[in-house]
């Protein structure tokens, strides 16, 4: 029997991707492990390998097609002795690429149900839900019963009943497998929910160029909107003196045969501070806090038209040289979109540094499922008062955004205190 090859999920949160390239054509023989296609997501390009042996009977999705939903058949594999005639029931012609972006809804009226995109069977915790887990979910008895039967997690649904109550129709439209959201905020549909009022209304046609969102932009829009709406952010700012760190860095760079950046020190300082204040190394999981055992530090890397946050795993176990090498390598692969999903998903903390652009101080949006992010400003010479005297010192201002569901003010302050201590006296990082 012909076997459909499905659009793979490269990561638990992947919902769709671009079929960047076919490495095979119809009629080609493939065996298990052969690379058959390249899939591009908003963050990475991955090769797809054949799982079964056989002959490519039909390519169902044209090269270059964007927004191919996960689990959609992309090709048909024929077994031994089967020919193309076995394909009469196969889906028709390649899907045309559709890059058109849905216009924001002008009408305030209820929106038609969004098409549901098939989901990988992924752990629910990875996908932030419309309902804060643990909070009471309003659903009709019938909706609850059907959800239970279908294996749909009510927490990921958006209710359309009175005051957002989940009703039968909401559950019937959902796919089983936990993280199958149907609401637009989840980005199940190709388009991200637009602003309530179409900005086009304010500008004369032709006075601007309309650039459709690429998948990275869409993901950024969706995830950060969600993060800002769901996570109660608060901000803590502290100044760190850098003179000692710069001195140590200069010395190591001149003598150690390495090239350390200030950021590498900040990564290690963060990792060690998280170990020292382990309650700040957490994720909010609705019914529980996940206290991470390792410090997995994400570093925001600016890309052309977006950004990505690759993660240095177990950073507390790594020395400065190792961190420097890994950060450099990750950033480079991020720029060429060669990161694997597991290299940028998850993490327990992030650092975003805009110091190189001269920014003195800023606040960053938390990157779920993490509970904090550190926004780092420029290290600059400032006048500081010490023992009643004004002195010059190199000072850097950092602002931590905290998820108040997981981290309280005093806890965040304790973390920053530890961080500042490591930064201001780097030899303590050796302990």
Q: Where does 178-281 show beta strands of DSSP type E?
A: 233-241
Question: Could you tell me which of 360, 379, 359, 412 has the C-alpha nearest to residue 263?
Answer: 379
Nearer to another protein (CB atom), residue 19 or residue 166: 166
- Which parts of 106-135 interact with another protein (CB under 8 A)? 108-110
Question: Catalytic: which of 23, 233, 294, 404?
Answer: 404
Q: Where does 225-329 show beta strands of DSSP type E?
A: 233-241, 282-284, 289-291, 297-299, 301-303, 306-308, 311-312
Q: Are 150 and 176 in contact (CB under 8 A)?
A: yes
Binding pattern to another protein, positions 134-173, x when CB under 8 A?
------xxxx-xx--x----------xxxx---xx-----
Two tokens at 408?
């309280």
Whether omega before 369 lies within 30 degrees of 0, making that bond cis, reads yes
Residue 92 beta carbon to another protein: minimum distance, rounded to whole angstroms: 28
The H or E element spanning position 37 is strand 35-40
Nearer to another protein (CB atom), residue 166 or residue 364: 166
Nearer to another protein (CB atom), residue 54 or residue 194: 194
Residue 221 beta carbon to another protein: minimum distance, rounded to whole angstroms: 23
Longest CA–CA span in the chain (Å) reads: 90
CA distances from 300 to 321, 342, 353, 367 (A): 19, 15, 7, 10
Q: Taken in order 268, 271, 274, 280, is the CA torsion positive or negative?
A: positive
Could you tell me how many residues of this chain bind another protein (CB under 8 A)? 16
HEC assignment per residue over 308-332: ECCEECCHHHCCHHHHHHHHHHHHH
Nearer to another protein (CB atom), residue 121 or residue 169: 169
Residue 107 beta carbon to another protein: minimum distance, rounded to whole angstroms: 9
- Contact residues for 154 (Cβ-Cβ < 8 A; gap 6+): 131, 137, 139, 143, 144, 147, 166, 171
Residue 140 beta carbon to another protein: minimum distance, rounded to whole angstroms: 3
Nearer to another protein (CB atom), residue 160 or residue 363: 160
- Which parts of 49-108 interact with another protein (CB under 8 A)? 108
Angle between the 262-276 and 320-335 helix axes, to the nearest 10 degrees? Answer: 110
Residue 171 beta carbon to another protein: minimum distance, rounded to whole angstroms: 10
Q: Is 404 part of the annotated catalytic residue set?
A: yes
Nearer to another protein (CB atom), residue 15 or residue 170: 170
Binding pattern to another protein, positions 392-411, x when CB under 8 A?
--------------------
HSE, side-chain direction, 13 A CA sphere, residue 140: 16
Residue 286 beta carbon to another protein: minimum distance, rounded to whole angstroms: 25
* Positions that interact with another protein (CB under 8 A): 108-110, 140-143, 145-146, 149, 160-163, 167-168
**Residues annotated as catalytic (active site), given as ranges:** 404
């Amino acid at each position: 029997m012909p076997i459909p090859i499905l659009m793979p999920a490269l990561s638990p949160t992947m919902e769709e991707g671009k079929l960047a390239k076919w490495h095979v054509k119809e009629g080609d023989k493939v065996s298990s492990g052969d690379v058959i296609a390249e899939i591009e997501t908003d963050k990475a390009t991955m090769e797809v390998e054949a799982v079964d042996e056989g002959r490519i009977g039909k390519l169902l999705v044209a090269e270059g097609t964007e927004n191919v939903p996960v689990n959609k058949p992309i090709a048909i594999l024929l077994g031994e002795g089967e020919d193309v005639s076995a394909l009469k029931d196969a889906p028709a012609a390649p899907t045309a690429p559709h890059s058109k972006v849905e216009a924001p809804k002008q009408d305030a009226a209820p929106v038609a149900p969004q098409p549901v995109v098939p989901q990988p069977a992924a752990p629910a915790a990875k996908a932030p839900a419309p309902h804060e887990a643990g909070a009471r979910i309003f659903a009709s008895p019938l909706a609850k019963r059907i959800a239970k039967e279908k294996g749909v997690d009510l927490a990921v649904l958006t209710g359309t009943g009175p005051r957002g109550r989940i009703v039968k129709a909401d559950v019937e439209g959902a796919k089983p497998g936990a993280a199958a959201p149907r609401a637009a905020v989840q980005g199940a549909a190709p388009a991200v929910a637009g602003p309530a009022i179409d900005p086009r209304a304010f500008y004369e046609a032709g006075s601007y160029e309309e650039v459709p969102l690429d998948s990275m932009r869409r993901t950024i829009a969706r995830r950060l909107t969600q993060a800002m709406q769901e996570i109660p952010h608060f901000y803590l700012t502290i100044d760190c003196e850098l003179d000692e760190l710069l001195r140590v860095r200069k010395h190591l760079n001149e003598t150690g045969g390495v090239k350390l950046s200030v950021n590498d020190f900040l990564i290690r300082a963060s990792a060690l501070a998280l170990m020292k204040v382990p309650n700040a190394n957490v994720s909010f999981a609705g019914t529980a806090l996940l206290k991470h055992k390792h410090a997995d530090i994400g570093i925001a890397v600016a890309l052309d038209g977006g950004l990505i946050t690759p993660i240095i795993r177990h950073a507390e176990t790594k020395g400065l040289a190792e961190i420097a090498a890994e950060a450099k390598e990750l950033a480079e692969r991020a720029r060429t979109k060669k990161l694997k999903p597991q290299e940028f998903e998850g993490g327990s903390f992030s650092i975003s540094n805009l110091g190189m652009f001269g920014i003195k101080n800023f606040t960053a949006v938390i990157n779920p499922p993490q509970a904090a992010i550190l926004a780092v400003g420029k290290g600059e010479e400032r006048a500081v008062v010490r023992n009643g005297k004004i002195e010059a010192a190199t000072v850097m201002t950092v602002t931590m955004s905290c998820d108040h569901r997981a981290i309280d003010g005093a806890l965040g302050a304790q973390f920053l205190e530890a961080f500042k201590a490591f930064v201001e006296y780097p030899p303590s990082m050796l302990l």
